[in-house]
Amino acid sequence: MEKRNLLEYVESGDLEVVKSILENGGDPNIADRRGYSALLIATYNNDKKMVDLLIEYGANPNQKNHFGMTALSHASYFCYMEIVEMLLKNNANVNTKTDEGWTPLMEAARGGCTDAINLLLKYGADINAVNNDGWTALHYAIIKGHEKIVSILLESGASVNVGEPTPLDLAKALLEEDLLIKDKLVNINNILRKYGGE
């Protein structure tokens, strides 16, 4: 009963009831059958006060659902910056990976969140980490056409020669395939060449 109620109250955003349950010994790390913890649910809802409360009562910022997703990965993708910062300050693993090898930095690059990129790098994110497909955050910034993130990643030391295809090869292929995003990809291609791409 406690498990179901706590998750339901987190989902509905009822801060006072959740606080009461936690004060009376409720487990802040309980999860539903898919592995969605109270903290992950609060993060999905961008409920900063709920996230703060759960962390205060010992919620594990590195708890994963059944796909390996953490609250930090989700917050990084959606650019929930207050939550990203809270999680990092409370020892969320900046280099955690999903079952498919996605890191929070890859999620931020895919989601186009420059603020999360900068903060994750400040906390030591592995800029050249590769997922199960051999792609890095740079690959995702390129495929989504996020020029500013491409520049930030390259200026921070991202390799243009990691993965298959390499980021430069990917940009070239996209340039050939899609004229609608030609201008962005030309700029990304030039940025990659500036940083040593062939």
For residue 151, being part of any structural domain is answered with yes
> For position 138, which CATH number holds?
1.25.40.20
Domain count, the chain: 1
pLDDT score for 137: 97
For residue 32, being part of any structural domain is answered with no
For residue 185, being part of any structural domain is answered with yes
The predicted-structure confidence for 169-196, as pLDDT tens digits, reads as follows: 888 787 776 655 567 777 888 888 888 8
Are the C-beta atoms of residues 26 and 6 closer than 8 Å to each other?
Answer: yes
User: In the block, which residue shows the tokens 């079952």?
Assistant: 99
User: Which residues, other chains included, contact 183 with Cβ-Cβ below 8 Å and sequence gap of 6+?
Assistant: none
Are the C-beta atoms of residues 66 and 98 closer than 8 Å to each other?
Answer: no
The predicted-structure confidence for 31-54, as pLDDT tens digits, reads as follows: 999 999 999 999 999 999 999 999
For residue 125, being part of any structural domain is answered with yes
Mean model confidence pLDDT for the chain: 92
* % pLDDT > 70, the chain: 93
For residue 51, being part of any structural domain is answered with no
Q: Whose CA is closest to 7, among 33, 23, 81, 24?
A: 33
For residue 52, being part of any structural domain is answered with no
Are the C-beta atoms of residues 106 and 76 closer than 8 Å to each other?
Answer: no
User: Which residues, other chains included, contact 108 with Cβ-Cβ below 8 Å and sequence gap of 6+?
Assistant: 76, 77, 79, 116, 117, 120, 137, 149
pLDDT at 121 over 50: yes
For residue 50, being part of any structural domain is answered with no
Please state the pTM of the whole predicted model: 0.86
Q: Which domain holds residue 121?
A: 101-198
For residue 20, being part of any structural domain is answered with no
Q: Both tokens of residue 42?
A: 């609060």
